Amino acid sequence: MKKSPPAALMGFLLTGLLSSSGSQAATSNDHALELGVDRSHLAYVSEAEQQKTFADMRAVHAVWFRDGPDSYSDQPKNLVKFVGEMQLAKKYGLKILVGVGPIDADFDNYNKAAPRNKCGWSDRKWGAVNLDLFTRRLKRVFTALKAANIDVDAFEIGNEEDSNCYDGDIPSGHEASEEEIVTALRGYSRVLKAAAVVIRNPQYFPQAKIITFGIAHGGNKKESLVDPAGYVARLKNLDGYNYLDNDSYHVDGYGTHVYAWPGDIAGSITNTLHSDVTSLGTDKPLWVTEWGFLNLKAFPTKTGLTIQQAMQQFLDTFQALNRQIPIGPIMYYAYNPDPSLWVPQADILMTYR
């Protein structure tokens, strides 16, 4: 998951946002958009700060919370912290989307630090994941969650895999070849299937939703896929097997990330989601597991557009698109722990229902 924008910029992020959006929640798809909030690594702060975070999220009518066990979740003390975080989220009435994917401990010789590319992503290859280590770790995590009577509502398998600033399966610095794309897909597909089979096991979370990784939409062919949604769509028939719908499990939604260009907010959001459904179809909803702006320093723009007006346009566009295509939860990236910065954000999101 991405790092939060600079704190000094976050104070302006959500002022005055949803004066009109709340009254437009019902759509022809016959469902209202559900607001979610991302906050990574919340397990590692004090319980008091966790409680305040969840109380703040509930105060703005958030329905979903997104986080996941991190790179050190193979360590028992960190697993205890993660379970405690999820317990609190449920105590505050939030649905939880848990992101799962391989960590260093799921590779052979994991004590050897994986090299990092220029974006900081690990260069480990998905095809090299030791599925036995991966599934055993997932089972430990799931067993701990079940022992704490935590019902996980949804799982996101992976995060922006090979779709932006390529990692190990598609080395950065050149346009992806067909061979590299197929190799990356095969690597992701085996992890997706392994995770889904464990999730669907009756002793774990058979009723939870499963969604694919959040797609990153880049523009540089040397660092990002030309058609990232088409990449996911190929999982419907990869080597003669459907990794999205089969006898063992069904995927419930497609994860996607939407970071709008300030010069044309409605247009860039619309183009992004329409390109997703052009490749993926509308058989499953698009879960927007991250949304926001990549460059908050662009506000106010040269035309005078403020961040508040920009975010109003963002949510108005989501509302309009939800009348045309199925959209699942929309999860704002991200909660800022500084109370002086969150309060104005809360003033805006309070009207979102």
3-state class (DSSP) for residue 79: helix
pLDDT at residue 352 is higher than 60: no
Domain boundaries, the chain: 7-349
The pLDDT of residue 211 = 98
Percent of the chain with pLDDT over 70: 81
Rounded to whole angstroms, how far apart are CA atoms 36 and 65? 6
Rounded to whole angstroms, how far apart are CA atoms 293 and 312? 13
User: Cβ(228)–Cβ(173) under 8 Å?
Assistant: no
More confident residue, 168 or 213: 213
Identify the CATH homologous superfamily for domain 7-349. Glycosidases (3.20.20.80)
Lowest model confidence (mean pLDDT) among 9-18, 148-157, 297-306:
9-18
How remote is the C-alpha of 219 from its chain's centroid? 20
pLDDT at residue 288 is higher than 50: yes
More confident residue, 50 or 345: 50
The pLDDT of residue 330 = 95
Rounded to whole angstroms, how far apart are CA atoms 289 and 330? 6
More confident residue, 308 or 332: 332
Q: Mean pLDDT across the stretch 156-165?
A: 78
Q: What are phi and psi of 253, to 5 degrees?
A: -165, 165
Q: Mean pLDDT across the stretch 158-187?
A: 82
Rounded to whole angstroms, how far apart are CA atoms 208 and 236? 21
Buried b or exposed e, range 251-270, using 16+ CB within 10 angstroms? bbbbbbbbbbbbeebeebbb
Q: Where are the beta strands (DSSP E) in 85-201?
A: 95-100, 154-157
pLDDT at residue 13 is higher than 50: no
Rounded to whole angstroms, how far apart are CA atoms 168 and 116? 9
Q: What are phi and psi of 325, to 5 degrees?
A: -135, 155
- pTM of the entire predicted model: 0.89
The pLDDT of residue 84 = 97
Q: What is the pLDDT of residues 180-236, one digit of tens each?
A: 999 999 999 999 999 999 999 999 999 999 999 999 998 788 888 889 999 999 999
Overall size of the chain counted in residues? 353
Q: Is the peptide bond before 334 cis (omega within 30 degrees of 0)?
A: yes
The pLDDT of residue 96 = 98
The two structure tokens encoding residue 81: 């912290």
Q: What is the mean pLDDT of the chain?
A: 85
